Structure 1
């Protein structure tokens, strides 16, 4: 089998099965695992898969830049945002992550909601300036422009000094095997710090993120309250998550 044919085979397998196990592919094709791993390295370099130990997973489209992500699945993000906004209540303290789905949540919050919002995103804070009864706390630190959020040591230390009823957290990938992931190590650390300060943490994940993975793990599933997604309940990845005991709220 030519290299181009192997590449097409691997991409087709990834689309059908949602993962590639290098040793299984090598056995089926009668080639070495090294050849499969080289192919996967090439595909990963082109952004077509996310390499993991033993093989590869579908790569998340949410690793694109902030401006580009605003045009990715806007309807799905709005559906997720409406459900997430419904989890808030008068008098609550909310930690709201950054990113485009969190921005949709900020816009979906009732204008007269009496609440406290803690965020490390200047974009989120600006979106809530017209909410007269929302008290805003902006956590400072180095700006990570990809997601328009602060991160790094200063931001993590600031996060460790707050407490909240609810944390609404975005990720770039949700996969039954890889877990909850994002594309930057410091951003992953900041998300962990935020989640640790809330009584309940819900993951915001529009359907294009379900069944995909990024480089850095954020949290294990047992550390979250549940997941909000517009992916169909019969989606194989959603069914696998449910089987793992993850509570899934369907946004439709």
Structure 2
């Protein structure tokens, strides 16, 4: 089989099965595992898969820069945001992550809702200036421009001194095996720090993130209350998540 044919075969497997197991592909095609791994390295370099131990998973499309992500699945993000905003009760305290879906949550909060919002995103803070009854706390640190959020040691330390009823986190990948992932190690650490300070944590995941993975795990499934998504309930990945005991909150 030519290299181009192997490439198409691997991409087809990712689309149909949601993963590639190198040893299985090698046995199926009668080639070495080294050849499969080399093909996967090439695909990963093009952003077409996320390499993991033993093979690869579909790469998240949400690892592009902040401006590009604002144009990615805007309808899905609005649906997720509306469902997420409904979880915050009057007088409650919310830790709101950064990113484009979290920004949609900020816009979805009722303007007259009395609440407290803690965020490490200057973009979220600016959006909430229009909510007169929302108390606003901005956590500082080094600004990670890709997601317009504060990260690093100073931001993590600041997060350790707050607490909330609810935490809404964005991730770039939601996968039954890889878990909840993002593309930056410090951002993943910040998400863990924020989630640890809330009674309940829910993941904001528009449908394009379901079944995909990025490089760094943010949280294990045991640390979240559920996933808010507009993905089709019949999506096989949704079924796999529910089989793991993950609560799925449908946004539609």
TM-score range, shorter chain: over 0.9
- 1:95 CA drift (Å): 0.2
Q: How does 1:129-148 map to 2 (within 5 A)?
A: 129-148=129-148
**Which residue in 2 is equivalent to 1:175?**
175
Give the secondary structure class of the aligned counterpart of 2:191.
helix
CA-to-partner distance for each residue in 1:165-186, whole Å, 9 max, x for gaps? 0000000000000000000000
Moved over 2 A (4+): none
Matched, 1:201 2:201: yes
In structure 1, how many angstroms separate the alpha carbons of the residues matched to 2:40 and 2:56? 7
In structure 2, how many angstroms separate the alpha carbons of the residues matched to 1:245 and 1:56? 24
Q: How does 1:76-225 map to 2 (within 5 A)?
A: 76-225=76-225
CA-to-partner distance for each residue in 1:142-163, whole Å, 9 max, x for gaps? 0000000000000000000000
**Which residue in 2 is equivalent to 1:22?**
22
In structure 2, how many angstroms separate the alpha carbons of the residues matched to 1:14 and 1:166? 35
In structure 1, how many angstroms separate the alpha carbons of the residues matched to 2:188 and 2:13? 29
Give the secondary structure class of the aligned counterpart of 2:68.
helix
**Which residue in 1 is equivalent to 2:37?**
37
In structure 1, how many angstroms separate the alpha carbons of the residues matched to 2:45 and 2:208? 20
In structure 2, how many angstroms separate the alpha carbons of the residues matched to 1:13 and 1:248? 26
**Which residue in 2 is equivalent to 1:55?**
55
In structure 2, how many angstroms separate the alpha carbons of the residues matched to 1:151 and 1:13? 36
In structure 2, how many angstroms separate the alpha carbons of the residues matched to 1:62 and 1:153? 25
- 1:58 CA drift (Å): 0.2
Taking structure 2 as the reference length, what is the TM-score of the superposition? 1.00
**Which residue in 1 is equivalent to 2:247?**
247
In structure 1, how many angstroms separate the alpha carbons of the residues matched to 2:235 and 2:198? 29
Give the secondary structure class of the aligned counterpart of 2:129.
coil
Taking structure 1 as the reference length, what is the TM-score of the superposition? 1.00
Q: How many residues align?
A: 252
- 1:99 CA drift (Å): 0.1
- 1:194 CA drift (Å): 0.1
CA-to-partner distance for each residue in 1:99-120, whole Å, 9 max, x for gaps? 0000000000000010000000
- 1:197 CA drift (Å): 0.0
In structure 2, how many angstroms separate the alpha carbons of the residues matched to 1:17 and 1:225? 27
Gaps of 5+ in 2: none
- 1:246 CA drift (Å): 0.1
- 1:233 CA drift (Å): 1.0
Give the secondary structure class of the aligned counterpart of 1:129.
helix
Give the secondary structure class of the aligned counterpart of 2:174.
strand
CA-to-partner distance for each residue in 1:40-90, whole Å, 9 max, x for gaps? 000000000000000000000000000000000000000000000000111
